[in-house]
């Protein structure tokens, strides 16, 4: 088994109206989150964010101007249910926050092994629905970081 690197990204996808895309985990039904994923060897964090967005939602970040690094990170204890994915003795993960502004709510293509459903919610509702404190904190910071895109952006 190839272990995950304990460095990950959280990528918020949001609209001009500050609606946020959330995904329901397939391996933890009823638990909602933004796009997340572990860094692969040799990847920059921005590359990780772009790859995870494409894999989990079918969204090409470059089509919308690219991901933005918020220069925000959180260290958190790895949930016991997922500890086996990391090298033995690894207990914490460092998560880096990125965001992608899209002009309006998009239809997304979910990776069925990873997610069951998706929903767009106003940012406050999205924050309240997230099971992860780091995800909630990132969404709560959205109004301070958000940029608007022209509505005619592809």
Residue 10 · residue 34 · CB < 8 Å: yes
Domain-embedded: residue 150: no
Token pair in block for residue 149: 């895109």
Does 132 have pLDDT greater than 80?
Answer: yes
Alpha carbons 91 and 86: distance in angstroms, whole number: 8
% of the chain residues with pLDDT over 70: 95
Domain-embedded: residue 153: no
Average pLDDT for the chain: 93
Q: How many domains does the chain fold into?
A: 1
Domain assignment of residue 83, given as a range? 7-145
User: What CATH number does residue 130 fall under?
Assistant: 3.90.79.10
89-94 average pLDDT score: 93
Max Cα–Cα distance, the chain, nearest Å: 49
- Comparing CA positions, the residue from 128, 134, 146 lying closest to residue 68 is 146
For residue 116, CA distances in Å to 22, 45, 50, 52 come to 11, 26, 21, 16
Confidence at 150, pLDDT banded by 50, 70, 90:
low
pLDDT at residue number 154: 52
Domain-embedded: residue 152: no
């Amino acid at each position: 088994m190839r272990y995950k690197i304990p460095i990950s990204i959280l990528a918020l996808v949001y609209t001009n109206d500050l609606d946020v895309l959330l995904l329901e985990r397939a391996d933890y039904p009823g638990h909602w989150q933004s796009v997340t994923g572990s860094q692969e060897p040799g990847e920059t964090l921005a590359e990780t964010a772009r790859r995870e967005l494409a894999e989990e939602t079918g969204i090409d970040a470059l089509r919308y101007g690219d991901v933005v690094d918020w220069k925000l990170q959180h260290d958190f204890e790895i949930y016991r249910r997922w500890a086996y994915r990391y090298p033995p003795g690894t207990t914490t993960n460092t998560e880096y926050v990125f965001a992608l502004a899209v002009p309006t709510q998009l239809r997304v293509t979910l990776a069925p092994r990873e997610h069951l459903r998706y929903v767009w919610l106003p940012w406050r509702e999205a924050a309240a629905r997230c099971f992860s404190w780091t995800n909630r904190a990132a969404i709560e910071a959205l109004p301070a970081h958000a940029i608007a895109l022209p509505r005619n952006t592809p």
